[in-house]
Chain A
Amino acid sequence: MLFYILRRVLYALPIALAVSLICFLLVHIAPGDPVNAIISPDAPAEVVAQVRAEYGLDKPLPAQFVLWLGRVLQGDLGTSLSSGRPVVAELVVAVKNTLMLSLVAAMIGFVAGTLLGIVAAIRRGRWPDKLASALAAGGVSLPHYWLGMVLVVVFSVTLNWLPALGAGAGGSEAWAWDWEHVQFLVLPAITLSVIPMGIVTRTVRGVVIEILNQDFTVTLHGKGLQPLRIALHVLKNAAPAVLAVMGLQLGYLMGGSILVETVFSWPGTGQLLNGAIFQRDIPVLQGTILVLALIFVLLNLVVDLMQTTLDPRIKRS
């Protein structure tokens, strides 16, 4: 079993490496001199030359990649062109904020999605199913950045119940779980939760229906088991597939939060990316994408391992 875990981890490494390669190449597909990805083009000529030598920009691409990788592994993601601070410092704060937002959104989405999905599966074909499925379809087809704007219009502009922007006074550095701060979290989290809610509803509905169609559910009834016990059987069978989807959705939430964060000016990785794109702050752009992608790879690995523990049919030798 331990061997299996080790094998899966080892398998993830080449993926992580390839992901880093793509992030590295991003700089080079961008128009313009790669030097501008490290320091501002207004710098004096000898500084430019020095940077060029130090970063090996005259060397062939593979060599540059190795140099870059070496620095990344030591925790050096470069310096922000716009703020001058190390990228890592900015990222740490941003990742914390996005993580907070994503986790709350994930919780809302998963719980709502699971409940809706179960209701839809048990009352298949009747109105609760149609309603739940319609909600799920709506959730998945909704441009969530638009939903964010709608919610702002309703709750901030019209009703004035909730703030429209930001993370509150002091930002995330001074976060506390009181209403003064949480009120900033409500709208963004709900907005972000809609897509995972839709996807989890559909997944749970599909998985539970498939399980209820299987022969062993007839056996379970034939044994005279109580409804709660039968539900346990269904849930345990559904768990691997549903938890896998949830894990992936969490990854998408973290990686894809840019749109919602833009609408609400939430100071997370999305906001950081946004700023980096507009200011052509390549180090920040590269560093943020690298970190988010690696988090996603890690999440995929965790989901994979979790599935093995839950489903006895997967070989663990």
Chain B
Amino acid sequence: MNSITSSPLPCAARPDAAPSIERSDSYWQGVARRIGRDPVTLVCAAILLLMLLAILAAPWLSPHDPLQGSLLRRLQPVGSPGHLLGTDELGRDMLSRLLHGGRLSWFLGIMPVLIAVVIGASLGILAGYAGGGTNMLIMRTTDVFYAFPSVLLAVAISGALGPGITNAMLSLSLVFIPQVIRIAESTTTSVRNLDYIESARASGASVLTIVRVHLLPNVLGPIFVYSTSLISVAMILASGLSFLGLGTRPPDAEWGLMLNTLRTAIYNQPLLTMLPGLCIFVTSACFNMLSDGLRSAMDVRS
């Protein structure tokens, strides 16, 4: 039988003694790393960036004036000399109108979401943190707006107010605010009930500190991801309003409005009529995939 011969070595002198401590990344480093490994998200982000640059540079990139047209040159097909993407039903250059139209479409898609996030997140976090009567008041009001399907609500408010960019932005904001309130409130409520908030309160932290240090970092993430997915919906809805004649008014260039006015040309130049819609689709799809990618990257559990 073997016996224990040598005397035990002290811990420090043993080679490979201490188990190696792996330095783990901070949460955001992990998020960035996961996004970096996701080709779909990166491609979408790249496409969106390119689009953004193109429409911002629209005045310099457009070969023609988007509002100047000549009925003699109406409905030229794609690839015509001087008009890379053809001309619309009033003879205006499609490429220029698409570039300029992008500015309005993006603006109408992003602004309402921004407004909705600022107002909605504040109200939602307030409702979630305060609880009780405040919560009931805010959430029941939200429920009423939720009782309308989004398209219907947007059309109803726009229809009542009349066409115009400001009215469209107003009605779209009103459609999205309840959605942001809901997600802000539910995230806040679930975070608020977690143990570490309890212990923060027990250790005497003030409400403001708790909100700033413990609550916001955990709540803003999901809200942010949700808003990126909202942008894709907003773009479709905003263009939809213009398509119905409720948003941008002619002769402004905007993708949804262009789809509407080109409808009559569907029999002569079908390809032309596809272009504005393609732009909306690509933008919306990219925002959607970006949002999905962000959500997967931020989900620690997977």
Contact = CB atoms under 8 A, between A and B. Distances in A.
Indicate whether A and B are direct neighbours in the complex (CB within 8 Å).
yes
Interface of A: 15-16, 18-19, 22-23, 26-27, 29-31, 137-138, 140-143, 145-147, 149-150, 152-153, 157-158, 251-252, 254-256, 258-259, 262-263, 273-274, 276-278, 285, 289, 292-293, 296-297, 300
B270 interface: yes
6 contacts: A18-B144, A18-B147, A29-B157, A29-B160, A146-B280, A296-B152
Contacts of B273: 149, 153
A138 B236 CA distance: 13
Contact of A255 (B149, B157, B240, B244): B149
A27 B160 CA distance: 7
Contacts of B147: 15-16, 18-19, 293, 296-297, 300
Contacts of B156: 23, 26, 285, 289
B122 interface: no
Contacts of B278: 146
A143 B246 contact: no
Interface string B233-257: 0001001100111100000000010
Interface of B: 143-144, 147-152, 155-157, 159-162, 232, 236, 239-240, 243-246, 256, 259, 263, 266-267, 270, 273-274, 276-278, 280-281, 284-285, 287-289, 292
B152 A259 contact: no
B113 to A, nearest CB: 15
Contact of A277 (B144, B236, B244): B244
Main secondary structure of the interface of B (DSSP, over half): helix
Contacts, number: 131
A262 B243 contact: yes
Given A31-B162, A138-B285, A157-B267, A143 B155 contact: no
Contacts of A143: 236, 239-240, 256, 259, 277, 280-281, 284
A273 B159 contact: yes
Contacts of B155: 258, 273, 277
**Max count, chain A CB within 10 A of own CB: residue among B148, B149, B287, B288:** B149
A271 to B, nearest CB: 11
A254 B149 CA distance: 9
